[in-house]
């Protein structure tokens, strides 16, 4: 965690303690009265600072929309990545949809995040739509492995094969086409490698 000022640390710890004892995050007003502020904006700007430094996340528009990102709250949890916007790194704060109570070390190598699978292109490998893919964040992948790749803004899960500058991303479903990428022409980002799978809902 990026270094907090003494005041910010004090406020952060109060927020953690509030949530621990009250069972829910505080409002801006509660923070004001606790810290002796006379303006709600004092709380607001402190929260913004804490969010900017990555120790909390603010959910816009939601009352008590304060999510604590470091230890005491999400021990052993993995973040679930939602929609991925252009350009941003996949594990950016704004992509985190929620946290799942799963030990990262359950997977080998360890998982860094979960990604919701969209579509049936890997259904013959037992990966169905809406499954959560456990991903180990690395660019170091070998032929035949199932990887999370990104071309421009599109994130996709496929089996990876590379020959020199040609990369093939093969689906595991004959209904979908093999994608062939020339690395000298199209930028390809390897976001990570599949290390596991969780299915917690499906249509009968």
Partner DNA sequence: CGCCATACTGTATATAATCACAGTTTACGG
Partner DNA sequence: CCGTAAACTGTGATTATATACAGTATGGCG
Smallest distance, DNA to C-beta of residue 60, A: 4
Active site residue 158: yes
Check 98, 158, 200, 204 and give the catalytic one.
158
The active-site residue out of 3, 39, 63, 121 is: 121
Handedness of CA 165, 170, 174, 176 (dihedral sign): negative
Based on the residue annotation, tell me whether 201 is a catalytic residue of this protein.
no
Rounded CA-CA distance 191/138 in Å is 6
Least Å distance between CB 34 and DNA?
11
Q: Tell me whether residue 49 or residue 198 sits nearer to DNA (CB atom).
A: 49
Residues 6+ apart with CB under 8 A from 82: 95, 96, 97, 116
* Other Cβ atoms closer than 10 A to 32: 19
Q: Phi and psi for 2 in degrees, rounded to 5? A: -60, 150
The structure tokens listed for 39 are: 């303006």
- For its own copies, the binding residues (CB under 8 A) are 20-25, 27, 62-68, 73-74, 76, 80, 98-103, 106-108, 123, 126-128, 131, 134, 144-145, 195-201, 204
**Binding stretches for DNA (CB under 7 A):** 5-8, 27-30, 32, 35-46, 49, 58, 60-66
Q: Any idea which residues carry the catalytic annotation?
A: 121, 158
């Amino acid at each position: 965690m990026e270094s907090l000022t003494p005041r910010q640390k004090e406020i952060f710890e109060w927020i953690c303690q509030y949530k621990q004892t009250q069972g829910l995050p505080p409002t801006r007003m509660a923070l004001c009265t606790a810290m002796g502020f006379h303006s709600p904006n004092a709380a607001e700007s402190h929260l913004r600072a804490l969010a900017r430094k990555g120790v909390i996340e603010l959910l816009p528009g939601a009352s008590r929309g304060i999510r604590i990102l470091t230890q005491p709250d999400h021990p052993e949890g993995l973040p679930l990545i939602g929609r991925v916007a252009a350009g941003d790194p996949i594990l950016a704060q704004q992509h985190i949809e929620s946290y799942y109570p799963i030990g990262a070390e359950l997977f080998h190598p360890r998982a860094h995040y979960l990604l919701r699978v969209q579509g049936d292109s890997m259904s013959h490998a037992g990966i169905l739509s809406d499954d959560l893919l456990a991903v180990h964040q690395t660019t170091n992948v070998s032929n035949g492995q199932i990887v999370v790749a990104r071309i421009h803004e599109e994130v996709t899960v496929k089996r990876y094969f590379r020959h020199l500058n040609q990369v093939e991303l093969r689906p595991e479903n004959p209904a979908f086409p093999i994608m062939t990428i020339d690395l000298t022409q199209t930028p390809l980002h390897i976001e990570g490698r599949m290390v596991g799978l969780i299915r917690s809902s499906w249509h009968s």
